[in-house]
Amino acid sequence: MTRELLVAGGGIAGLAAALGARRAGWEARLFEQAPAFSEVGAGLQLGPNTTRILAGWGVLDDPLLRAFAPPRLRVRDATDGRELGHLALGAAMEARYGAPYLALHRADLHAALLRAVTDAGVRLHAGLRVDEAQVDGEAVLARTSAGTRVEADALAVADGVWSGLRQQLLGDGPAPPTGHVALRALLSMDDLPVALRSDDVQAWLGPRMHLVCYPVRAGQALNVVAIAEGAAAASEWDQAAPQDALQAVARDLCGELRALLEAVPAWRMWPVHDRAPVRGPHEMAHGRAALLGDAAHPMRPYLAQGAGMALEDAFELHRVLSACAGRLVDVPTALKRYALNRWERCARVQRRSRRNGTIFHATGLLRAGRDMAMRTGGESLLDVPWLYRGI
Ligand SMILES: Cc1cc2nc3c(=O)[nH]c(=O)nc-3n(C[C@H](O)[C@H](O)[C@H](O)COP(=O)(O)OP(=O)(O)OC[C@H]3O[C@@H](n4cnc5c(N)ncnc54)[C@H](O)[C@@H]3O)c2cc1C
């Protein structure tokens, strides 16, 4: 009999896990608590480590993605507009790593993955939460919010940063707030003054804040995300914020950046939560359950790799599930292998994301040192070969 994976959560991690399972010859059933499969959020950058996986799964060619390949990453000083450093993306990145560096909208990636899982025959259940699961016996025994019992061979815990299932398995409390707030906006390129349109990924670094913008939707929209420390504490996920939300916390910005902020009609605001870097394989697998994505390793978005790590998790899960599709390897052993192969890399990305935040937001001597290092180290400081080479 074919083995079956039960997936809790229909975000990027859950959809990719279900797709990986089907490609490994498993059946897959996915439960999403929201009444419909849809993704909020805004832009995403995907490095070659991630786009390589999507290409292998045939998702990268889906026109729903409307991905954009920015030619350069430019790092600039938010107060005077100076360029601090740049990294060639586009063809250079593809030549170096064999896969593109792309910018796209999260909803578009979600839609393409949803189409792929539907075509692959994943059974989808919207409007149902996985409330609890026993994962230590001969099978996974789960209960949904409708009170139904579901049995499967393995469970993918992909229920995001607020993961209730992680609490049942690890009991290590909620992911704490970082004190940083993300403000996000999506602008139509046509509505922007020509001087503010750019094909590049631009990262503006200022004291205790930074802002990143890049084109998405095949270049028709500009995604803007600003991160500020200690901004009026946002407690709710994805709340509306006033047009001047950033000006209130970020002073002395250069004219070009101020003009960009003035072009933003309204922001959505997210408090940023993370966890300490993964401490060991026990945080990524437990019995017949594997943890993926933000449920396993929520991170600050300063290396732009949260969704990337979710996709890598799913790819690794696919590998270990392939090994036990024929029942030669038992499921808990396969998931242990998954966790062993993933935890150190995820922890490294979490650490690097935190470090980037400190460097991006630097003041005083640290800032002067950063700027000098950028001038002398150039591209080598912005490229991350150990990450982009992938798994
Ligand atoms: C400002 C910002 C910028 C970012 N930029 C980037 C970037 O450039 N590149 C990048 O790679 N990443 C980026 N990220 C990170 C990325 O968005 C996340 O890491 C990724 O979306 C996490 O996906 P997920 O599927 O693990 O979690 P989620 O997207 O949170 O999905 C979890 C899903 O599970 C559902 N759910 C919850 N509980 C249950 C349950 N019990 N049963 C069933 N369903 C349940 C939820 O409704 C939700 O749909 C950014 C994040 C932020 C905040």
Specify the pairing of strand 201-206 against strand 123-126: unpaired
- Number of domains into which the chain is organized: 2
Which among 284, 334, 327, 324 is positioned nearest to 24, based on CA atoms?
324
178 pocket-lining for ligand 1 (C-beta < 6 Å): no
Residues 368 and 330 in one domain: no
Q: Are residues 25 and 50 in the same domain?
A: no
Q: pLDDT tens string for the chain (391 positions)?
A: 789 999 999 999 999 999 999 999 999 999 999 998 877 778 999 999 999 999 999 999 999 999 999 999 999 999 999 999 999 999 999 999 999 999 999 999 999 999 999 999 999 999 999 999 999 999 999 999 999 999 999 999 999 999 999 999 999 999 999 999 999 999 999 999 999 999 999 999 999 999 999 999 999 999 999 999 875 555 556 677 766 667 666 678 999 999 999 899 888 888 899 999 999 999 999 999 999 999 999 999 999 999 999 999 999 999 999 998 776 789 999 999 999 999 999 999 999 999 999 999 999 999 999 999 998 887 999 999 999 999 9
Phi, psi of 209 (to 5 degrees): -160, 160
Q: In this structure, is residue 116 part of a structural domain? A: no
Residues 181 and 171 in one domain: no
Same domain assignment for residues 134 and 90: no
Residue 144 three-state SS: strand
- Give 175 Cα–ligand 1 centroid separation in angstroms: 13
| Domain co-membership, 223 together with 348 | no
- What does the pLDDT read at residue 18? 98
Q: What is the pLDDT of residue 315?
A: 98
Instruction: Tell which one of 6, 15, 31, 33 to mutate to probe ligand 1, the residue whose CB is within 8 A of the most ligand atoms.
Output: 33
Give 9's contacts (C-beta < 8 A, 6+ positions apart).
30, 31, 32, 33, 156, 157, 158, 159, 160, 293, 295
Same domain, 102 and 191: yes
The position carrying tokens 């993933």 is 342
Could you tell me if 391 and 370 lie in one domain? yes
What is the CA(106)–ligand 1 centre distance, in A? 10
Ligand 1 centroid – CA 376 distance (Å): 36
**pTM given for the model:** 0.97
Apex 59 CA angle, 348 and 117, nearest 5: 95
Atom 45, ligand 1: which residue's CA is nearest? Answer: 9
Amino acid residing at 197:
R
What pLDDT was estimated at residue 265?
Answer: 86
Q: Is residue 114 part of a domain?
A: no
Residue that has been written with the tokens 């229920």 in this structure = 159
118 lies in a domain? no
The CA-based angle 30-104-116, given to 5 degrees, is: 30
Q: Which residue has the tokens 């270049």?
A: 219
- 182 Cβ inside 6 Å of ligand 1: yes
- Tokens at 61, concatenated: 């060619």
Same-domain check for residues 183 and 327? no
Assign residue 242 a region (left: φ > 0; alpha: ψ between -120 and 50; beta: otherwise). Answer: beta
Which ligand 1 atom is the nearest neighbour of the CA of 306?
Answer: 19
Give the integer Cα–Cα distance in Å for 331 and 325. Answer: 9
Measured distance CA(93)–CA(103) in Å, rounded: 13
How far away, in angstroms, is 113 Cα from ligand 1 center?
Answer: 14
Query: Ligand 1 atom 4: the closest Cα is on which residue?
Result: 301
Q: Considering only CA atoms, which residue is closest to atom 51 of ligand 1?
A: 301
**For residue 268, what is the domain's CATH number?**
3.30.9.30
Cα distance between residue 81 and residue 156, in whole Å: 45
Which CATH number covers residue 157?
A: 3.50.50.60
The residues that are catalytic are 214
d(CA 146, CA 149): 9
322 in a domain, yes or no? yes
Nearest to 163, CA basis, from 5, 40, 304, 11: 11
**Contact (Cβ atoms closer than 8 angstroms) between residue 102 and residue 307:** no
User: Does ligand 1 have an atom closer than 6 angstroms to the CB of 388?
Assistant: no
Domain that holds residue 268: 43-109+177-273+362-391
Centre of ligand 1 from the C-alpha of residue 314, in Å: 14
Cα gap 251→253, rounded to integer Å? 6
Backbone CA torsion sign across 74, 78, 79, 81: positive
- Exposed, middle or buried: residue 71 (CB in 10 Å: 0-12, 13-18, 19+)? middle
Q: Strand 201-206 relative to strand 285-286: parallel, antiparallel, unpaired?
A: unpaired
Residue 120 lies in a domain: no
Q: By alpha-carbon position, which residue is closest to atom 52 of ligand 1?
A: 301
The token pair at 170 is 């690890």
165 and 73 part of one domain: no
Residue 270 Cα to ligand 1 middle (Å): 12
Considering the domain architecture, whether residues 182 and 315 belong to the same structural domain is answered as no
**Does 283 sit in the ligand 1 pocket, CB within 6 Å?**
no
Residue 6 lies inside a defined structural domain of this protein:
yes
Domain membership of residue 121 (yes or no) is no
Does residue 249 share a domain with residue 231? yes
The answer on 355 and 258 residing in a single domain is no
Choosing from 12, 144, 229 the residue with most ligand 1 atoms within 8 A of its CB, the one to mutate for a pocket test is: 12
- Residue 45's identity, in one-letter code, is Q
